[in-house]
């Protein structure tokens, strides 16, 4: 996975615009200063989680005895399911919370850890993506470039959280869902490519 490819996939998976819409709903009625604190804290926690998977995910697979081709196929399936949710503008357990989890979150004043950091920013799709980014054991320069891509996407996510009310007013719910559908279609194609790469590595000609 090259740097531009990694940036594109991670950007689509994190979906900063859709994230802004959810963040506005979750922080309705909160003080602006508290909302900003939650945005910074949630993004920082999500970054820490993603960095752990980026730096140590491949070793974790090795310890568990999971081959990279198998993980590419499984990751492709997971991202494809996420893409379907984006195309049909629906929320499932892949990146959203359950009804009971939403009730629990509503009782908390601080949503930065749950559900903001996980699963909204660093959900299963994002964790899978960063692990695949490092799976090919890229050289130091490429690794640094991918790390920069990760930081860039998280930076955009933070900006979307800080300016979420303005972004939602500009796009509206319809515009947000329309953009999400377009990105979902792209993600579906990328997910299929992940699966094809995994199958080709597992069963070379």
Q: What is the pLDDT of residues 86-132, one digit of tens each?
A: 888 766 555 555 556 555 555 556 899 988 999 899 988 899 899 98
Write 179-183 long-range contacts (CB < 8 A, 24+). Answer: 179/17, 179/18, 180/15, 180/17, 180/18, 180/86, 180/89, 181/86, 181/87, 181/88, 181/89, 183/12, 183/15, 183/86
Instruction: Tell me which residue range forms the domain holding 8.
Output: 3-202
204 against 57, higher pLDDT:
57
What would the two tokens of residue 34 be? Answer: 């508290």
Q: How many domains does the chain have?
A: 1
pLDDT band at 137 (very low <50, low <70, confident <90, very high): low
pLDDT band at 204 (very low <50, low <70, confident <90, very high): confident
181 backbone dihedrals φ, ψ, rounded to 5°: -65, -40
Q: Quote the CA–CA distance of 2 and 185 in Å, as a whole number.
A: 20
For residue 7, what pLDDT is reported?
93
pTM, to two decimals: 0.81
For residue 1, what pLDDT is reported?
63
Closest CA to 119 of 42, 7, 201: 42
């Amino acid at each position: 996975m090259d740097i531009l490819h990694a940036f594109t996939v991670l950007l689509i998976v994190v979906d900063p615009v859709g994230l802004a819409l959810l963040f506005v709903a979750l922080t309705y009625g909160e003080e602006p200063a508290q909302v900003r604190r939650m945005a910074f804290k949630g993004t920082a926690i999500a970054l820490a989680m993603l960095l752990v998977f980026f730096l140590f995910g491949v070793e974790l697979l090795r310890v568990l005895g999971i081959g990279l081709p198998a993980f590419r196929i499984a990751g492709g399936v997971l991202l494809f399911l996420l893409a379907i949710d984006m195309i049909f503008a629906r929320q499932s357990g892949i990146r959203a919370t359950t009804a009971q989890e939403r009730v629990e979150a509503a009782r908390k004043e601080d949503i930065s850890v749950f559900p903001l950091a996980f699963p909204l920013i660093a959900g299963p799709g994002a964790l899978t993506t960063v692990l695949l980014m490092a799976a090919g054991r890229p050289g130091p320069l490429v690794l640094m470039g991918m790390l920069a891509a990760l930081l860039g996407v998280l930076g955009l996510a933070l900006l979307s959280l800080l300016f979420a009310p303005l972004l939602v007013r500009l796009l509206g719910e319809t515009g947000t869902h329309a953009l999400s559908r377009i990105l979902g279609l792209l993600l579906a194609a990328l997910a299929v490519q992940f699966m094809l790469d995994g199958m080709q590595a597992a069963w070379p000609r």
